[in-house]
Amino acid sequence: MSPHVIDPSSVFNPGAVQHNGKTFLLLRVQTRGRRTFTVPARGDGFTFKVAKRPVEYSGLENLVDPDTGAQLVIHHVYDARITALDDNLVVVTAVDTDQGCRLAIWQAVGKPQAGFAGLNELELIGFTDNRDTRNGVLFPTMIDGRYLMLDRPNDRRSSGGPSTGRGILLLASDDLAHWKELGPVMTGRPHYWDELIGSGPPPVKTREGWLHIYHGVATHFLGANLYQAGAVLLDLEDPRRVLARTRDNLLEPRETWEMTGQVPNVVFPTGLTVAETDDEGFAVTSSELRLYYGAADTVVGLAVSTVAEVIAACEST
């Protein structure tokens, strides 16, 4: 059994999912040694009970780098995004190794009806591949008989910050364990709010397209990286096609707790729930949309809107 988390100093970037009328989060928790834990929480969407122990990850033992054969040393597992896939909860996390960042796909082991929806024990399905990449999100349905995922390769380093990137890609898999790249989806817009980009929470199926919240980073403010959030609508059949995108951001750091903290000026969305879906699995447009995000890499924020309002903010491209 995993030990208790002693003396946490920051709680942020939560994955979120709704199940049987409850909202479940996977919180990224750091202690003073800057060690990373994932801690489940459950509640009504606004108030949460946090589990006493962190998530137990299994399958990370004895992994080797497929290119060099060297043993992979794992440092942090973080930024969990949760997707409800039929009756299973599947989680995608970033994994910092001594060879760079990888994306891992996890299966919730426990029963979904269990206290924390089975999210307190996660078993490794596999890594997407051996690229340095982050911000992986799995689509909630198969398309053309395949699982689809968005990810964002790390191909540059922001000043003083972690490796990052400016392009989101689409990947496909038959079994969640082996992935191949299908092609680019979107890139950052130099000089504006979303110069560098990465996926936020998993996309939501709407009749207008896949509604996807992403983060954008403005890097042109002398040493300060401003993390914001906007939205994009992707084609339902071929999510490589961008149908519409917000010109401006929809959320930016304005509150004191978004502007100050471990990393200043950060809103980083990672969890999203929609109250109602119709019989065919499309989000009801009048439905409330709740966006859970990390603020200043220190606390968790919640922004509320409706599906219709976010779709309306996207402009045709």
Query: Min. distance of Cβ 295 from ligand BMA in angstroms?
Result: 10
Query: Min. distance of Cβ 2 from ligand BMA in angstroms?
Result: 21
The whole-angstrom separation of Cα 281 and Cα 57 is 31
Write out the binding residues for ligand BMA, residues 160-179 only, by CB under 6 A. Answer: 162, 164
Residue placing its CB nearer to ligand BMA in the complex, 45 or 294: 294
Residue placing its CB nearer to ligand BMA in the complex, 164 or 273: 164
The whole-angstrom separation of Cα 253 and Cα 133 is 25
CA 172 distance to own-chain centroid: 17
Query: Min. distance of Cβ 240 from ligand BMA in angstroms?
Result: 23
Residue placing its CB nearer to ligand BMA in the complex, 13 or 23: 13
Write out the binding residues for ligand BMA, residues 71-90 only, by CB under 6 A. Answer: 79
- Measured from each CB, the residue nearest to ligand BMA is 263
The Cα-based distances of 291 to 134, 180, 244, 276, 283 in angstroms read 20, 29, 20, 15, 15
Residue placing its CB nearer to ligand BMA in the complex, 188 or 209: 188
Contact between 294 and ligand BMA by CB under 6 A: the answer reads: yes
Residue placing its CB nearer to ligand BMA in the complex, 97 or 173: 97
Contact between 36 and ligand BMA by CB under 6 A: the answer reads: no
Q: Identify whether the C-beta of residue 103 lies closer than 8 Å to the C-beta of residue 92.
A: yes
Instruction: Please choose, out of 85-93, 230-238, 261-269, 299-307, the segment that lies near ligand BMA by the rule CB under 6 A.
Output: 261-269
3-class secondary-structure state, position 38? strand
Q: Which two tokens stand for residue 283?
A: 């989000």
Buried b / exposed e along 20-57 (16+ C-beta atoms within 10 A): eeebbbbbbbbeeeeebbbbbbbeebeebebbeebbeb
Contact between 263 and ligand BMA by CB under 6 A: the answer reads: yes
Q: How long a stretch of residues is the chain?
A: 317
The whole-angstrom separation of Cα 57 and Cα 78 is 11
Number of residues that bind ligand BMA (CB under 6 A): 10
Q: Which of 268, 272, 290, 311 binds ligand BMA (CB under 6 A)?
A: 268
Residue placing its CB nearer to ligand BMA in the complex, 41 or 117: 41
Q: Identify whether the C-beta of residue 230 lies closer than 8 Å to the C-beta of residue 193.
A: yes
Q: Residues interacting with ligand BMA, by CB under 6 A?
A: 13, 79, 162, 164, 227, 263, 266, 268, 294, 297
